[in-house]
Amino acid sequence: MSKDRWLALAPPIASLVFAFVVSSIVLAISGANPFVAFGNVFEYGVRLNTLVETINWSTPLYLSGVAVAIGFRMNLFNIGVEGQYVLAAFIAAQVGSQLDLPPVLHVSAIILTAMLIGALWAGLSGWMKVTRNVHEVISTIMLNSIAVGGVVSYLLGVWDVPDDTSLDTALAPIPESGWFPDLNFLVGGNTRSDLWGFVLVAVVVGVAYHYLINRTRLGYDLRASGANASAAEASGVDPKRTVVMAMVLSGLVAGLVGLPELLGDSHTYSLRFTQGLGFAGIAVALIGRNHAAGIAVGALLFGWLSRASGILEVRGDAPREIVAIIQGVIILSVVIAYSIAERYRRIEAAKAAAAAIGEER
């Protein structure tokens, strides 16, 4: 393995080990046996059904991570993925329930609706930034509240389909032609949970993201603006256009975050619909260093931790909060480890340069 690759892989592995050591200490202090606790987590975590659930829930985490990473690439902090995906999933669920289309078209219409809503909501922040100089952190936080606490709650009242037997509030269900096919045949077809097919969309998004960032003019503009905004502008990058494009692209992906659940499992938006995936995406993007493959590792790791940890409380080993500690330590130590690796790389480069100069003399 080359030294560069080793420098890229060592930090995440070291942080993972570090996180488990720290949480083992926390477990031991709180009176639990870390070996028993983690033993149970691994025993439960490698079951086929848990792995299926892990992939299912890593999918929205991955999409959310990519959405955040697109912004990060040009130093835009899109905290609004949360509001973008909740609003997008909600409106897409309503549109999907009202449509009567053949299967492929129906699913496509729902996906396009969600992407469009996500892009509009995120684009709003970009527009405010370039025309009114409103910082995107402020505007996306505000738009989160407006989306989740305002628009969705109002329309939930309007579009609610009353159900006398349930205290839940829900939209009309999406007919079966609007369901995304499952991939159960891949896992033998006899797991308790379905393997949601939407993971394929996430793969496509990941490849497209990698291509866009590294192989297109727009991706280059994004990266250049992120590295040095004034230098990029001097070399002909239109900063306003790039900001809006970055937010719109981020929103397009953000709009997809709620769809694995919507199209694979719930088939309706109700009070039970999962929230918080937008914020989780920030952590996932941080761990993944904004790389398409790195984000996948972060999403799978966090997805697996959140699934496998259920056993901790059920078996009485430890409170579930220990997982929050593990996740927090992983994020912190990944950031620190990368900056140490970066410093090490610079020192090595400086040494090499000094040696080269020495040889010339």
Q: Which is nearer to another protein, 135 or 192 (CB)?
A: 192
CB of 9 to another protein, least distance (A): 29
CB of 155 to another protein, least distance (A): 11
Q: Exposed, middle or buried by CB within 10 Å (0-12, 13-18, 19+), for 195?
A: buried
CB of 149 to another protein, least distance (A): 5
Q: Which is nearer to another protein, 57 or 62 (CB)?
A: 57
Q: Which is nearer to another protein, 95 or 148 (CB)?
A: 148
Q: Which is nearer to another protein, 24 or 58 (CB)?
A: 58
Q: Which is nearer to another protein, 33 or 153 (CB)?
A: 153
CB of 331 to another protein, least distance (A): 16
Q: Which is nearer to another protein, 53 or 136 (CB)?
A: 53
Binding site for another protein (CB under 8 A): 44, 53, 57, 86, 148-150, 152-154, 156, 165-169, 192-193, 261, 271-277, 280, 306-307, 310-311, 313-316, 320
CB of 212 to another protein, least distance (A): 28
CB of 170 to another protein, least distance (A): 9
